[in-house]
Structure 1
């Protein structure tokens, strides 16, 4: 096993942006992802959750939440794109489909989508 500590690599990342979240994390309890081959693997949504002080392990359930809400409302991706355009957010249907299938979207995008389709309540069942 290597004695070199793991490092975070991210091209073009503004490290100063971590100061606030790191100070907030000092005061909370959370679970770090496992280190495998000297690195931690998190997707974008898990990374955002970790530094927001949320349980990053539950992100998968949140990723499926938007798809479930679309299905419950009977909305297609094309309809979602139209509704997003109505509130000033320009997205292509293929991009929305990719984001939802991969689960790689921000909380802001999820909230915008929920707002666009008129979801004022989330159904977690």
Structure 2
């Protein structure tokens, strides 16, 4: 599959596949382009087969790896160098699909989406 997203060519035939995750009739493949950009190739095989591509930031790619392969104890913020710790949460496959859709649409990490949603919920409660 091949598509240009925000000026970046996302081509599964030329990019390096560096990860794979399967859940509830869906397979996601994490790729890195020759220019160092990350994207997800999603294949949904439940019902009608659907494929899509989502461009990821470096932080979003790190989030994806953490979710797909399990948590690490800590990571270092690329901007500040500060040590941060991960917390692992479990969500339904429907919620994960919604998070993935919104990540692609808004270019945000799962952490950013959940944090913004919780802040909005608290503000409106």
TM tier relative to shorter chain: under 0.3
The structure where strand makes up a greater share of residues is 2
Greater radius of gyration (CA): 1
The structure where helix makes up a greater share of residues is 1
